[in-house]
Amino acid sequence: MLRAELVRRLAAFTLEASIEVEPGAPLVLVGENGAGKTTVLRILAGLLPPDRGRIEVNGRVWCDTERGPVLPAARREVGYVAQDYALFPHLSVAENVAFGLRASGERGRGLRSKVGRALERFGLLELAHRRPPELSGGQAQRVALARALVTEPALLLLDEPLAALDLQTRREVRGAVRRLLAELPCLTIYVTHSPMEAMLFGERIAVLEAGRIVQCGARDELLRHPRSPYVAEFLGVNLYSGRIRDRRGGLVELVTEAGSLWVVDPGGDDDVFVAVSPREVTLFREPPAASARNVFRGRIVELAPEPPRGERVRVLLATRPPLVAEVTADAVEALGLREGVEVHAAFKASGVAVYR
Amino acid sequence: MLGAVLATILVLPVAALVLRVPPARLAARLAEPEILDALRLSLVTSVSAAALAVVLGLPVAYLLATRSFPGKRLVEAAIDLPMVLPPTVAGLALLLAFGRTGLAGRALEGLGITLPFTTVAVVLAQVFMAAPFFIGAARAGFAAVDRRLLDAAATLRASEIRIFFHVMLPLARPALLAGLAMALARALGEFGATITFAGNLPGVTQTMPLAVYLALQTDLEAAVTLAVLLLVISFGLLLTLRAAPAGRLRTRDADAPR
pLDDT at B248: 41
pLDDT at A330: 87
Q: How many residues does chain A have?
A: 356
Using omega within 30 degrees of 0 as the cis cutoff, is the peptide bond preceding A49 cis? no
Residue B154 forms contact with A (CB below 8 Å): yes
Beta carbons of B167 and A74 less than 8 Å apart: no
Segments of chain B scoring below 70 in pLDDT: 243-258
Has residue A158 got a pLDDT over 90?
Answer: yes
Q: A213 forms bridges with which residues in the sheet?
A: A208
Mean pLDDT in residue range A144-151:
95
Q: pTM here?
A: 0.80
Angle between helices B173-189 and B208-218 (to 10 degrees): 30
Asked if B253 and A93 touch (Cβ cutoff 8 Å), the reply is no
Has residue A227 got a pLDDT over 50?
Answer: yes
pLDDT at A68: 77
Could you tell me the strand order of the sheet in which A2-9 lies? A60-64, A52-57, A2-9, A14-21, A212-218, A204-209, A27-30, A187-192, A155-159, A78-81
d(CA A60, CA A63): 9
pLDDT at B24: 83
Range list of H helices, chain B: 2-20, 23-30, 33-66, 72-84, 87-98, 105-110, 119-143, 147-155, 160-163, 169-171, 173-189, 192-197, 208-218, 220-246
d(CA B131, CA B123): 11
pLDDT at A258: 83
The residue among A208 and B104 whose pLDDT is bigger is A208
Strand duo A27-30 + A187-192: pairing = parallel
Q: How far is A241 from chain B (nearest CA, A)?
A: 41
ipTM: 0.80
Band of pLDDT at residue A41, cut at 50, 70 and 90:
very high
Of A136, A129, A154, A10, nearest to A71 (Cα)?
A154
* Amino acid at residue number A333: E
d(CA B90, CA B84): 10
Band of pLDDT at residue A120, cut at 50, 70 and 90:
very high
Which of A48, A80, A90 to mutate: most B Cβ within 10 Å? A90
pLDDT at A291: 65
Q: How far is B183 from chain A (nearest CA, A)?
A: 26
Query: Which DSSP state fits B219?
Result: -
pLDDT at B254: 39
Has residue A80 got a pLDDT over 70?
Answer: yes
What pLDDT digit, counting tens, does each position of A121-135 carry?
A: 999 999 999 999 999
What phi and psi values does residue A318 have, to the nearest 5 degrees? Answer: -90, 60
Q: Choose among A95, A104, A116: nearest Cβ to B157.
A: A104
* Amino acid at residue number A177: V
* Amino acid at residue number B30: L
pLDDT at B251: 41
d(CA A173, CA A165): 9
Band of pLDDT at residue A308, cut at 50, 70 and 90:
confident
d(CA B161, CA B5): 51
pLDDT at A220: 84
Q: How far is B250 from chain A (nearest CA, A)?
A: 8
